[in-house]
């Protein structure tokens, strides 16, 4: 079955998001498989949406849609037709395969012997069950001076521009290598490696096979999230799993998405939105520390109503709303 054609395609104008290029380099019209799997812990969404009904999610590689489909009616939307077809194929039983993001990470892992990461050492680390031992092992054996230097170089703006369009890099904090090392240390001190498939995917490149739940319902839509949600009746969805689609989006598109989510949300709807940005200290809804995928700075989980209230208060105060949505004050009526 072909995916449903949504809104926002073929209009001949820019949407204001780097994702519309269909590739990491931002080359127009060159749609590629970017993600072979999602480095996002869908347990966050499953917990946030427990007891709720219909869910809208970004399709990406299909992992989150598959994880939610056993308990929810799911609409999975993506701008990239190659990515959407891949997610749909996984629903029909296709095995996961590597996309451009996984290949880029594999190139980085080729440096493991250079920084002293012997295979046996990494395997020993990934078999650990005690998080205190993991934290010590990471600090003593893996987070060494050579790794710190190489990792910082790989995640420098100059190096990342070889793979990623500038729009994708604008959200990244300065000294990104140092920031990511801190996130990894935080995660290894909180989540047992032996029970964490995301750790194995990150350090060894193993592909996770998301299983299709019996009787699950997923409707696939080709289009951009803001345009599709704008076309939906009010109150259409109880949950929104938005991945990190605003990393690479401009303020205008972010505002459109904010308004569209609020319009399409039911009274008690919740939203989960990730970002590589560093969180604001006052962002009390950030659940990045619970996220087993280890790499995110912000995993904002809250009621859509709370988003609306925050934006309204910020607008009245003449300030920018302090949420993962990087929008200016006044985007909501």
**Number of other residues whose CB lies within 10 A of the CB of residue 4:** 14
**How far is 293 from 193, CA to CA, in rounded Å?**
11
**How far is 171 from 295, CA to CA, in rounded Å?**
14
User: 221, 2 in Cβ contact below 8 A?
Assistant: no
Q: How are strands ordered across the β-sheet holding 217-222?
A: 4-5, 217-222, 73-78, 55-58, 237-241, 265-275, 298-303
User: 237, 311 in Cβ contact below 8 A?
Assistant: no
pLDDT per residue as tens digits for the range 176-216: 999 999 999 999 999 999 999 999 999 999 998 776 666 67
Four-point Cα dihedral 56, 299, 163, 203, nearest 10? -110
234 burial class (0-12, 13-18, 19+ CB within 10 angstroms)? exposed
Residues of the chain under the 50 pLDDT cut: 10-12, 311-321, 326-333
CA distance from start to end of the chain:
39
**Number of other residues whose CB lies within 10 A of the CB of residue 173:** 12
4-97+211-317: CATH, from 3.40.50.10490, 3.90.1150.10, 3.40.50.150, 3.30.565.10: 3.40.50.150
Does the predicted TM-score (pTM) go above 0.85? yes
pLDDT of residue 320: 46
pLDDT of residue 144: 97
Tokens of 205: 């490149």
User: 281, 330 in Cβ contact below 8 A?
Assistant: no
pLDDT of residue 7: 56
Tokens of 105: 């990470």
Element (H, E) at 222: strand 217-222
The domain spans of the chain are 4-97+211-317, 109-204
DSSP alpha helices (H): ranges in the chain? 43-48, 63-69, 81-91, 100-109, 119-126, 131-137, 145-154, 157-160, 166-169, 176-188, 197-204, 225-231, 251-264, 304-317
SS3 199: helix
User: 277, 247 in Cβ contact below 8 A?
Assistant: yes
Element (H, E) at 271: strand 265-275
């Amino acid at each position: 079955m072909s995916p449903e054609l949504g809104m926002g395609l073929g209009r001949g104008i820019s949407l204001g998001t780097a994702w519309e290029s269909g590739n990491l380099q931002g080359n127009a019209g060159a749609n590629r498989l970017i993600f072979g799997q999602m480095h996002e812990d869908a347990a966050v969404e499953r917990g946030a949406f427990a007891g709720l009904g219909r869910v809208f999610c970004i399709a990406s590689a299909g992992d989150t849609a598959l994880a939610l489909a056993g308990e929810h009616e799911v609409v999975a939307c993506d701008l990239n037709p190659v990515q959407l077809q891949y997610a749909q194929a996984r629903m029909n039983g296709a095995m996961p395969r590597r996309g451009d993001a996984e290949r880029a990470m594999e190139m980085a892992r080729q440096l493991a012997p250079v920084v002293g990461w012997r295979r046996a050492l990494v395997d020993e680390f990934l078999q650990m069950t005690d998080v205190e031992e993991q934290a010590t092992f990471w600090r003593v054996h893996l987070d060494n001076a050579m790794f710190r230097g190489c990792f910082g170089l790989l995640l420098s703006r100059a190096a990342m521009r070889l793979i990623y369009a500038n729009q994708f890099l604008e959200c990244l904090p300065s000294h990104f290598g140092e920031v990511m090392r801190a996130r990894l240390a935080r995660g290894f001190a909180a989540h047992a490696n032996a029970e964490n498939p995301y750790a194995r995917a990150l350090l060894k490149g193993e592909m996770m096979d998301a299983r299709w739940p019996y009787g699950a319902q997923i409707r696939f839509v080709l289009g951009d999230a803001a345009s599709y949600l704008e076309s939906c009746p009010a109150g259409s969805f109880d949950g929104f799993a938005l991945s990190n689609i605003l990393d690479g989006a401009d303020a205008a598109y972010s505002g459109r998405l904010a308004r569209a989510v609020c319009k399409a949300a039911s009274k008690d709807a919740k939203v989960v939105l990730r970002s590589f940005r560093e969180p604001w200290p006052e962002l009390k809804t950030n659940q990045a520390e619970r996220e087993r995928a280890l790499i995110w700075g912000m995993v904002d989980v809250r009621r859509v109503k709370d988003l609306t209230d925050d934006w309204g208060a910020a607008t009245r105060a003449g300030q920018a709303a302090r949420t993962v949505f990087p929008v200016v004050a006044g985007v909501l009526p």
